[in-house]
């Protein structure tokens, strides 16, 4: 089968989020009808791990798990806080246990929003947790699904320093010139449907199509702010790229799916 011509690949979702718990079957059905042939489901917190694994076991012909610890966690009151080493320690054994099953380590990265990292020590904590997960990815020859909010340049610098090899920078909010530093390293960038209301048109214009893939980051980053996003919205990302790049949407779908399979080769287990 020529995998890259069969449909869309959503390279970054959170389908195990509680916003989907009551109608996940409809969401998956809508994705299929919209031409989605595979979607990567990422974790954020340790509590996400069993949810993501169970969901991907429920839909093994379309969903693929990614396990990792996000740079932003929640405290006992549900308030956002910076990740710590103990958060990672809680899940390392699980990542190791399922290393042969998962498609990537993720969602990992850096988040330097001032309210999350008001102190340099907190940025250092995030970097330490990221390095440990880059080491895990390299140990198991797995790609990385990376978050870099308000930290585009520091994230790319850290990934290079830590020896990250196969990288997806999702929903990149940094400068196009910074993104091009990632392109030099062979990194990929995924474009969500929120691109239609963002200020990142220059990013889409400058990124080579050979380094682009599609994502929804659902339930967030939809075309309408505040509304739940779904994988079925992936066509919006495709059409936007096609317009900016002056390419037929079918060609963008073909190229981005081919790129996704190159970056996440274990997707071939789904695309039989």
| pLDDT per residue as tens digits for the range 161-182 | 999 999 999 999 999 999 999 9
- What is the per-residue pLDDT for 213? 98
Are 252 and 241 contacting, i.e. CB atoms less than 8 angstroms apart? yes
Residue-range definition of the domain harbouring residue 99: 3-269
Given a contact cutoff of 8 angstroms between Cβ atoms, the answer to whether 130 and 108 are in contact is yes
Identify the CATH number of the domain in which residue 128 sits.
3.20.20.140
Task: Please name the helix (run of DSSP H) or strand (run of DSSP E) that holds residue 54, with its range, or none.
Answer: helix 48-58
C-alpha 98/C-alpha 244 separation (Å) is 39
CB-CB contact of 237 with 13 (8 Å): no
Beta bridge partners of 146: 108, 169
pLDDT given at position 272 = 75
Structure tokens at 212: 């682009």
The pLDDT assigned to 257 comes to 98
Q: What is the pLDDT of residues 190-229, one digit of tens each?
A: 999 999 999 899 999 999 999 999 999 999 999 999 999 9
Q: 63-67 and 36-42 as β-strands: parallel, antiparallel, unpaired?
A: parallel
The list of the chain residues with pLDDT below 70 reads 1-5
Q: Tell me the pTM.
A: 0.96
In angstroms, the CA 200 to CA 197 distance is 9
Q: Give the per-residue pLDDT at 35.
A: 98
pLDDT at 4: 44
């Amino acid at each position: 089968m020529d995998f890259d011509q069969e449909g869309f690949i959503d390279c970054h979702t959170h389908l195990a989020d509680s916003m989907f718990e009551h109608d996940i079957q409809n969401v998956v059905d809508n994705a299929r009808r919209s031409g989605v042939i595979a979607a990567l489901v990422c974790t954020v917190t340790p509590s996400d791990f069993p949810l993501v694994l169970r969901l991907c076991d429920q839909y093994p012909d379309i969903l693929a798990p990614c396990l990792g610890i996000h740079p932003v966690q929640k405290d006992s009151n549900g308030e956002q806080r910076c990740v710590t080493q103990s958060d990672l320690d809680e899940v390392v054994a699980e990542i190791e246990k399922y290393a042969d099953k998962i498609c990537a380590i993720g969602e990992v990265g850096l988040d330097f929003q001032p309210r999350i990292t008001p102190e340099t020590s907190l940025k250092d904590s995030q970097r330490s947790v990221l390095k440990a997960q880059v080491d895990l990815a390299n140990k198991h020859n797995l790609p990385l699904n990376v978050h870099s909010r308000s930290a585009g340049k520091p994230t790319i610098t850290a990934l290079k320093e830590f020896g990250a090899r196969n990288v997806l920078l999702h929903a990149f909010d940094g400068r196009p010139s910074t993104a091009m530093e990632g392109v030099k390293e062979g990194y990929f960038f995924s474009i969500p449907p929120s691109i239609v209301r963002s200020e990142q048109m220059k990013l889409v214009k400058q990124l080579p199509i050979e380094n682009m893939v599609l994502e929804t980051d659902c339930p967030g980053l939809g075309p309408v702010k505040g509304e739940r996003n779904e994988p079925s919205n992936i066509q919006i990302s495709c059409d936007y790229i096609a317009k900016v790049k002056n390419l037929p949407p079918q060609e963008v779908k073909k190229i981005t799916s081919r790129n996704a399979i190159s970056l996440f080769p274990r997707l071939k287990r789904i695309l039989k």
